[in-house]
Amino acid sequence: MNLNISSFTSDEKAFLEPNNDIIVTALVVIGFVVFAMILSKTFIAFNDNSQALENYEHAAMIAKDIASYPSLQGSRPELISAEALDRIASPVADEERYLLFHHFSANMDFYVEAGTDDGNYKWIIEQGTVSQQGRDVIAASLPVVIELGSNARCVPGTITVKIMQNKWK
């Protein structure tokens, strides 16, 4: 067999074969990158959803605990006193609000809305100024009975706990 360099360079198969491998390799790499991106987005979506569910469960637990908080109870343990809501929601009750928020969760930004189902009464209990701009809000509500002044005047209402967290960027 007489092989010389000129026959190797003049053979077109030798030049076409590496080009085909490069195209196939590029397609495999592109396919892997697309697969990695899809897998990454799926994980991020799963993580966001599981974190939102965890925060919702936390908000529901806080709402349940606030509904049975002794400082808010009316004449019976299953009632929430409108007078206590007025007292805690007023601007002069900073210390009482501070104790309420730190009793349930000192390290989370949240606020509480309470109101009657007919819309006649509404209370917002917040610690400082809570800004919702650029933040996700996760809320949980709990039906309650609100005692308006006396045991004879009880109306259905709702306690809503809204937890704020920074948006995912």
DSSP state of 149: S
Domain that holds residue 90: 35-166
Look at residue 10 and tell me if it is in a domain. Answer: no
Q: What is the pLDDT of residues 71-83, one digit of tens each?
A: 888 888 888 888 8
Average of pLDDT values for 80-90? 86
Query: How far is the C-alpha of 132 from the C-alpha of 72, rounded, in Å?
Result: 26
pLDDT at position 5 over 60: no
Contact 5, 11 (CB under 8 A): no
Look at residue 138 and tell me if it is in a domain. Answer: yes
Look at residue 14 and tell me if it is in a domain. Answer: no
Look at residue 97 and tell me if it is in a domain. Answer: yes
Dihedral, CA atoms, 52, 57, 60, 61, nearest 10 degrees? -140
Note if the pTM is more than 0.85: no
Query: How far is the C-alpha of 92 from the C-alpha of 46, rounded, in Å?
Result: 43
Higher pLDDT, 23 or 107: 23
Look at residue 7 and tell me if it is in a domain. Answer: no
Mean pLDDT across the chain? 81
Cβ-based neighbours of 24, under 8 Å, separated by 6 or more? none
Look at residue 11 and tell me if it is in a domain. Answer: no
For position 169, what pLDDT does the model report? 46
pLDDT at position 32 over 50: yes
Query: How far is the C-alpha of 116 from the C-alpha of 92, rounded, in Å?
Result: 23
Report the domain count for the chain: 1
Average of pLDDT values for 10-20? 57
Which 3 state secondary structure label does DSSP give 151? coil
Higher pLDDT, 93 or 151: 93
Look at residue 27 and tell me if it is in a domain. Answer: no
Look at residue 85 and tell me if it is in a domain. Answer: yes
